[in-house]
Chains A and B, each alone.
Chain A
Amino acid sequence: MIRDITIGQYYPAESPIHRLDARVKIVVTFLFIISLFVVNTFIGYVCVTAILGAVIKVSKVPLKFMLKGLKSIVIIILFTAVINLFLTQGEQVIWEFGFLHLTWEGIYMAVKMCVRLVLLIVGSSVLTLTTTPIQLTDGIEYILRPLKRIGVPAHEIAMMMTIALRFIPTLLDETDKIIKAQQARGADFDTGNLMQKAKSMIPILVPLFISAFRRAEELAMAMEARCYHGDEHRTRMNVMHMESRDYRAVVMTAVYLVFVVALRIAGNYLPFMI
């Protein structure tokens, strides 16, 4: 069962979005998230949703996969909604009880925040679903590179992510083995209250950690044996380079941003709640 967990959530497909440079995708996603907080009208959200929908359509990833990411944050969305619903100050009061009060402004705020959160998660899902973990790591390394001058260890962060990705399946296999070994000796992981269950995890975690440290030491030696010495004079086999489609994506994003800002300014002249 434990073996079925996939790393990242890459959905393989042939689409223009998949082929885009990872760096471009990361920056565009980042700008998209900022744009969500620039938009503040319902008309604006309808437009953004339509644009995001079009991007999803182009990416050829089924909508089901896009919405999967929402499952894990349902509670956060509900929590945000309830807080905004009852604690927003407003003039058009519908119902009041102690410090709780339901206002039209509250409802408006709650819906707006929920739409923002949903768009944010789905938007970043487009990035993770269309980019392989390796491309992502490489992209992050390139983007962080200018920050190296102020002491951000860009190469080291990327290397750590690569190694983590490489060892997740190995350590999952190992966990599986340890669980079976403990079960064979009569360990019980399924019964008892939460406390007992947590306690029964100790015989799994201790050997797992010891083995992980041993692996780390051996890997470090193997890396040194292959001349690894940080990113000084290091080259890459696959060099990232921007192509015309990447520049087109950048231009389209710029147009999108202008549009969003224009919507915001136009929003000032629109009546409340539109």
Chain B
Amino acid sequence: MNKEAMKMVKAKDLTYEYVRVLETDHGTKEEKVAALKNVNIEINKGDFVAVLGHNGSGKSTFAKHINALVQPTGGTLWVDDMDTKNDELVWEIRQTAGMVFQNPDNQLVATVVEEDIAFGPENMGVEPKEIRKRVDEALATVRMSEYATHTPSKLSGGQKQRIAIAGVLAMKPKCIVLDEPTAMLDPVGRRDVMETIERLNREEGITMILITHYMDEAVRADKVFVIDDGDLVMQGTPKEIFSQVETLQKYGLDVPQVTEVAYLLRKEGVELPADILTIEEMVGAICQLKSTT
């Protein structure tokens, strides 16, 4: 496999501009706004990637580009070597890169769980028998098999979101883009959904692109990208990113709670490493500290 074929998503000078109409005292005024400015991103196949940014940073716009729901006004985006500007490839791109949205209620179409999961494959024109098989598999993968004939409106937010993931899985994607999938969920639902995402990445090898503003979720990713005001400002492993507490704060982002505690302790003169991300690491570091003194 050559180097290019290893890339699931590749963006070159990706730019997206739109015209915003402003209401002023002297009538309306049109203003050009850039949601994404010359973004260059490469995401490897099989990776679990987190995209961070505060509200309005352009991270959702980036997510919609991967699914060809939005087309770039400048630059190019390739999904599995397919140019998203090519209209003939739109359906293939959407099949390769599935998308899960923030609001669990507004992405389920049918009144019965299994019918909803069948929606994607039905649109793709898959044979009825094959659809049945895919639906059962997808339900089992997200561990919702016993809810196959339930109505989505009776399920919890976390369960609905897992159904949405199953709906994408039934389309057999290589990559799933999740646009703040846990933002509207309670802690239990959030844990279930994150667990499902990580397991799918690990066991099925599906590339996961998680758009989020929860730092604790980003910690588990292979790679983190930070978008601020349409610019890609940081990229690296979670350890590289979260050790830069001050830079992150400049972009309106927090760091994981443990990392912040470590940062504050370091400021007070306690000698802790800067890249502590989990409670276990913190415990280890503190224990070592005690044994050295």
Give chain A's interface residues, CB within 8 Å of chain B. 133-134, 162-163, 165-166, 169-170, 173, 215, 218-219, 221-229, 233-239
B58 in the interface (beta carbon within 8 A)? no
In the complex, are the beta carbons of B123 and A222 less than 8 A apart? Answer: no
In the complex, are the beta carbons of A215 and B105 less than 8 A apart? Answer: yes
Q: Which of B128-136, B213-221, B283-291 contacts A (4 or more CB under 8 A)?
A: B128-136
Provide 24 A-B residue pairs closer than 8 Å at the C-beta atoms, listed in order of the A residue.
Answer: A133-B111, A162-B110, A163-B109, A166-B153, A169-B153, A173-B153, A215-B106, A218-B107, A222-B101, A224-B69, A225-B69, A225-B99, A226-B109, A226-B123, A226-B167, A227-B91, A227-B124, A228-B119, A235-B121, A235-B131, A236-B122, A237-B115, A237-B118, A237-B132
Q: Which residues of A contact B135 (CB under 8 A)?
A: 237
Tell whether A239 pairs with B123 under 8 Å between CB atoms, given A134-B115, A166-B111, A227-B94.
no
B120 in the interface (beta carbon within 8 A)? yes
In the complex, are the beta carbons of B115 and A233 less than 8 A apart? Answer: no
CA distance A215 to B124 in the complex (A): 24
In the complex, are the beta carbons of A226 and B94 less than 8 A apart? Answer: yes
CB distance from A7 to the nearest CB of B (A): 8
B57 in the interface (beta carbon within 8 A)? no
Which residues 165-204 in B have Cβ within 8 Å of A in the complex? Answer: 167-168, 171
B95-116 vs A, CB cutoff 8 Å, 1 = contact: the mask equals 1001101010111111110110
In the complex, are the beta carbons of A218 and B103 less than 8 A apart? Answer: yes
B32-53 vs A, CB cutoff 8 Å, 1 = contact: the mask equals 0000000000000000000000
Nearest B-chain residue to A214, judged by Cβ:
B106
CA distance A236 to B128 in the complex (A): 6
Nearest A-chain residue to B91, judged by Cβ:
A227
Told that A166-B109, A218-B103, A225-B94 touch, could you supply 9 new A-B pairs with CB distance under 8 A? A165-B111, A225-B69, A226-B94, A226-B171, A227-B120, A236-B118, A237-B115, A238-B115, A238-B128
Interface residue count for B (Cβ, 8 Å)? Answer: 40
Q: Which residues of A contact B95 (CB under 8 A)?
A: 227
Tell whether A170 pairs with B153 under 8 Å between CB atoms, given A134-B112, A227-B95.
yes
CA distance A136 to B125 in the complex (A): 22
Q: Which residues of A contact B167 (CB under 8 A)?
A: 226
CA distance A162 to B116 in the complex (A): 11
Give chain B's interface residues, CB within 8 Å of chain A. 64, 67, 69, 91, 94-95, 98-99, 101, 103, 105-112, 114-115, 118-128, 131-132, 135, 151-153, 167-168, 171
In the complex, are the beta carbons of A229 and B69 less than 8 A apart? Answer: no
Tell whether A228 pairs with B152 under 8 Å between CB atoms, given A163-B109, A222-B107.
no
Q: Which residues of A contact B69 (CB under 8 A)?
A: 221, 224-225
Nearest A-chain residue to B126, judged by Cβ:
A235
CA distance A65 to B152 in the complex (A): 26
Nearest A-chain residue to B135, judged by Cβ:
A237
CB distance from A169 to the nearest CB of B (A): 4
CB distance from B133 to the nearest CB of A (A): 10
Q: Which of A227, A228, A236, A239 has the most CB of B within 10 A?
A: A227
In the complex, are the beta carbons of A227 and B123 less than 8 A apart? Answer: yes
Q: Which residues of B contact A218 (CB under 8 A)?
A: 101, 103, 106-107
CB distance from B105 to the nearest CB of A (A): 5
Nearest A-chain residue to B99, judged by Cβ:
A225
In the complex, are the beta carbons of B94 and A162 less than 8 A apart? Answer: no
In the complex, are the beta carbons of A234 and B152 less than 8 A apart? Answer: no
In the complex, are the beta carbons of A225 and B98 less than 8 A apart? Answer: yes
In the complex, are the beta carbons of A229 and B123 less than 8 A apart? Answer: yes
Q: Which of B105, B118, B126 has the most CB of A within 10 A?
A: B105
Q: Which residues of B contact A219 (CB under 8 A)?
A: 106-107, 109
Q: Which residues of B contact A222 (CB under 8 A)?
A: 99, 101, 106-107, 109
| Of the residues B99, B108, B128, contact of A239 by C-beta under 8 Å | B128
Tell whether A166 pairs with B110 under 8 Å between CB atoms, given A226-B171, A229-B91, A237-B115.
yes
CB distance from B123 to the nearest CB of A (A): 4
CB distance from A64 to the nearest CB of B (A): 25
CB distance from A218 to the nearest CB of B (A): 4
| Of the residues A162, A170, A229, contact of B105 by C-beta under 8 Å | A170
CA distance A223 to B120 in the complex (A): 8
CA distance A110 to B19 in the complex (A): 66
The 8 closest A-B pairs by CB, nearest first: A222-B107, A218-B106, A237-B118, A169-B153, A233-B125, A227-B123, A226-B120, A237-B131
Q: Which residues of A contact B64 (CB under 8 A)?
A: 221
Tell whether A228 pairs with B123 under 8 Å between CB atoms, given A133-B111, A134-B111.
yes
